[in-house]
Amino acid sequence: MMKNSGHTRRERPYHHGDLYSSLVKAAEDLLEEKGANALSLREVCQCAGVSHAAPYRHFRDKAALMEAVAKAGFNQLGEMISEARARHPGEPEMQILDAGRAYVAWATENPERTRLMFGGMMKSDTIDEDLHQAAEAAYDEIYRIIDEGRSTGVFGGRDTDSVVLSAWSAVHGLTMLILGSGKLTPENPRDVRALADIIGDTVVSGIRSR
């Protein structure tokens, strides 16, 4: 298990080359493997093959590294929703159903990263602007679905923000219950999808124009 990222000749050069990315990758892997509580920066360094002081050239502190991990997570999650939207052009109901499936699926496949992303980090006042924008971009994907559905008359509700909130809350709530409660323990992706569909049906019933 020698790590040699990008280098073919020297076994371990003094200068790493792309330490920033290596640290984020190592942090992601270790986070999912051991959980947020047991994740130490020193272990991430060991995994990336550098000394425990090396990260401080690239990240202000441990929290900044975790913010980078969260940012990558929001980008991935937003991409999943975007793809679900693209799969059903002109069909907002199918878009929201499929986006819900994708949201829950990604989160259950990356539970620790999801907990990190929605665990209160975004509330801190020292929040990075990059991270904020990545989260915003994911939100916008949901907004676009609802907005199209409302403008074509298939969704109702008093205003778009309220409908987005309702849809997002339901899907996000299912997600966090799967990750956080002892009650919901789907064994495989098909179980996850079945749960997502139960919530999807209720959401669509609740926001459909009447």
Partner DNA sequence: ACCTGAACACCGTTCAAGT
Residues binding DNA (CB under 7 A) = 14-17, 19, 39-43, 50-54, 56-58, 61-63
CA 186 to chain centre: 19
The footprint of a second copy on this chain (CB under 8 A) covers a number of residues equal to 47
Sign of CA dihedral 124, 126, 128, 132: positive
Question: What minimum distance in Å lies between the beta carbon of 150 and DNA?
Answer: 45
3-state secondary structure of 19: helix
Binding partner selected for residue 58 from DNA, a second copy, none, CB under the kind-specific 5 to 8 Å limit: DNA
3-state secondary structure of 12: coil
Q: Does 170 bind a second copy (CB under 8 A)?
A: yes
Which residue shows structure tokens 């990190």? 116
**Interaction residues for a second copy, span 1-60 (CB under 8 A):** 35
How far apart CA 65 and CA 61 sit, in angstroms, is 7
Binding partner selected for residue 86 from DNA, a second copy, none, CB under the kind-specific 5 to 8 Å limit: none
Which of 94, 176, 186, 193: binder of a second copy (CB under 8 A)? 176
Following CA atoms 145, 148, 153, 157 in sequence, which dihedral angle do they give, to the nearest 10 degrees?
50
Question: What minimum distance in Å lies between the beta carbon of 116 and DNA?
Answer: 14
Question: What minimum distance in Å lies between the beta carbon of 18 and a second copy?
Answer: 28
Cβ-based nearer residue to DNA, 43 or 197: 43
Binding partner selected for residue 56 from DNA, a second copy, none, CB under the kind-specific 5 to 8 Å limit: DNA
Q: What angle do CA 42, 46, 51 make, to 5 degrees?
A: 75
Find the DSSP H helices in the chain: 19-34, 41-48, 62-87, 92-109, 111-117, 129-151, 160-180, 189-207
Q: Does 192 bind a second copy (CB under 8 A)?
A: no
Which residue shows structure tokens 């590294």? 65
- Cβ atoms of 167 and 196 within 8 Å: the answer is no
Cβ-based nearer residue to a second copy, 50 or 204: 204
Question: What minimum distance in Å lies between the beta carbon of 53 and a second copy?
Answer: 21
For a second copy, the binding residues (CB under 8 A) are 35, 111, 115, 117-123, 127, 132, 135-136, 139, 157, 162-163, 165-166, 168-177, 179-185, 195, 198-199, 202-207, 210
